[in-house]
Structure 1
Amino acid sequence: MPAHALAPLTPYLSIAGLAFLYYRRIRRSFGRQQWKPRRTMVRLCLLAFVTAMLALAACLLPHVALGVAVGAGLGTALGLFSLRHTHTEWVDGCGWYTPNPWIGGALSVVLLGRLAWRWSQGALTGGMAASGQQASPLTMGIAAALVVYSLVHVGGLWWRMRHLRPPLGRDAPPAALG
C-alpha cells in the first residue's frame, strides 16, 4: 500500500494505538497480577528514561517546571501510598501482587481527561504543539505525576518481591558438617 494512501488513516491509527496502550496500562491496575522480573526491569528502565525526559522538558520549557516538580512530588507520595496498599505474595514459586486499583485508575482517568480536554480545545494540533509553545504546566504536571507514580510503584514492587522471594536452596536438606 502506498504511503499516500495511509495518510488519511494516520490520525485514526495513532488514536487506536494510544487507546490500546492505555487499555493495557489500565488493565494492570486491577486484579491479581503475576510478577515478571524481566518485564519489571524493562519497565523500570523505560520509566527512568521518561522521567529524565520530563526533567529535561522542565529545564527547556521553564514555564512548565513548577507543574512538573509538583506532579513529581505528588507522584512520589501516591506511589509510596499505593505500595503500602499493594498486597504481595509468593505462591508455588511465582510472585503475585494485587495493586490498589483506585490510585492507578484515578491517575489514568485524570490524564486521559486532561488530554481529551486539550485535544478538544485544539492544543494538540498544528505546529505549535510540536514545538512545545503550548505546553501546559497542568498537563505536564499530570504526566509527571503518572510517570513518577509508576516509577516509584514499580521500583518498590521490584524491591519488595526480590526480598519476598524464598532462597533458592530453602527446600534442600542441610549439608552435613564434616
Structure 2
Amino acid sequence: MPAHAVAPLTPYLSMVAFAFIYYRRIRRSFGRQQWKSTRAIVRLSILGLVTAMLVLAACFLPHVALGIALGALLGAGLGLLSLRHTHTEWADGSGWYTPNPWIGGALSVVLLGRLIWRWSQGAFSTGGTSGQNASPLTMGIAAALVVYSLVHVGGLWLRMRALRPALPGRA
C-alpha cells in the first residue's frame, strides 16, 4: 500500500493501537494472573526508562515539574498500598498473583479520562513538538501511573522471588 494511501488513516490506526495497548493494561488489573519473571524484568526496564524520561521532562519543562513530582509520590504510595493488597502464591509449579483491581483500574481510568479531555480540547492537534502545551495535571497523572507500576511490579518481583521454592541443587 502506498504511503499516501495510509496517511489519512494514521490518526485512526494510532488510536486503535493505543486502545489495544490500554485494553491489555487494564486487563492485567483484574483476576488471577500468572507470574512471568522475564516479562516482569522487561517491564521493569521499560518503566525505568520511562521514569528517567519523566525526570528529564521535569528538568527541561519546569512548569510541569511539580505535577510530575507530586504524581510520582502519589504513585509510589499507591503502588505500596496495592502491593499490600495483592495476593501472591506459588502453585502448579509457577507463581500466581491476584492484584487489587481498584487501585490500578482507577489510575488507568483517570489517565484515560484526562487524555480524552485533553484531546477533546485540541491539545494534541497542534503537533506539540515544543513541549510547552504539556499539562502539569496530565504529566502528574502519567507519573503516578508509571511510578505505581514500577513500585508494584518491582515489589511483586521481590515477593515472587522469595516465594519461589528452592530448586534441587540450588542453595
- TM score, norm. by length of structure 1: 0.94
Tell me the residue number matched to 2:12.
Answer: 12
How far, CA to CA, are the matches of 1:50 and 1:103 in structure 2?
Answer: 20
Tell me the residue number matched to 1:54.
Answer: 54
Tell me the residue number matched to 1:69.
Answer: 69
Tell me the residue number matched to 1:29.
Answer: 29
Number of residue pairs aligned between Structure 1 and Structure 2: 169
> Which residue identity does 1:100 align to in structure 2?
N
Tell me the residue number matched to 1:134.
Answer: 133
Structure 1 position 68, deviation (Å)? 0.2
Tell me the residue number matched to 2:160.
Answer: 161
Structure 1 position 130, deviation (Å)? 2.2
Structure 1 position 169, deviation (Å)? 1.9
Q: Structure 1: 5+ residue runs without aligned partners?
A: 171-178
Structure 1 position 88, deviation (Å)? 0.1
- After TM superposition, which residue ranges in structure 1, 4 or more long, deviate above 4 angstroms? none
Structure 1 position 162, deviation (Å)? 0.2
How far, CA to CA, are the matches of 1:130 and 1:122 in structure 2?
Answer: 14
Structure 1 position 111, deviation (Å)? 0.1
Percent identity over the alignment is: 79
How far, CA to CA, are the matches of 2:102 and 2:152 in structure 1?
Answer: 14
| 1:35-69 C-alpha deviation (Å, 9 max, x unpaired) | 00000000000000000000000000000000000
How far, CA to CA, are the matches of 2:62 and 2:82 in structure 1?
Answer: 30
Report the 3-state secondary structure (helix = DSSP H, G, I; strand = E; otherwise coil) of the residue aligned with 1:90.
strand
How far, CA to CA, are the matches of 2:12 and 2:103 in structure 1?
Answer: 29
How far, CA to CA, are the matches of 2:42 and 2:8 in structure 1?
Answer: 34
| 1:86-139 C-alpha deviation (Å, 9 max, x unpaired) | 000000210000000000000000000000000000011113x22211000000
How far, CA to CA, are the matches of 2:68 and 2:48 in structure 1?
Answer: 15
> Which residue identity does 2:149 align to in structure 1?
S
> Which residue identity does 1:109 align to in structure 2?
V
Q: Structure 2: 5+ residue runs without aligned partners?
A: none
Q: 1:37-48 alignment to 2 at 5 Å?
A: 37-48=37-48
How far, CA to CA, are the matches of 1:15 and 1:130 in structure 2?
Answer: 19
* TM-align CA RMSD: 0.8
How far, CA to CA, are the matches of 1:92 and 1:100 in structure 2?
Answer: 22
- TM score, norm. by length of structure 2: 0.97
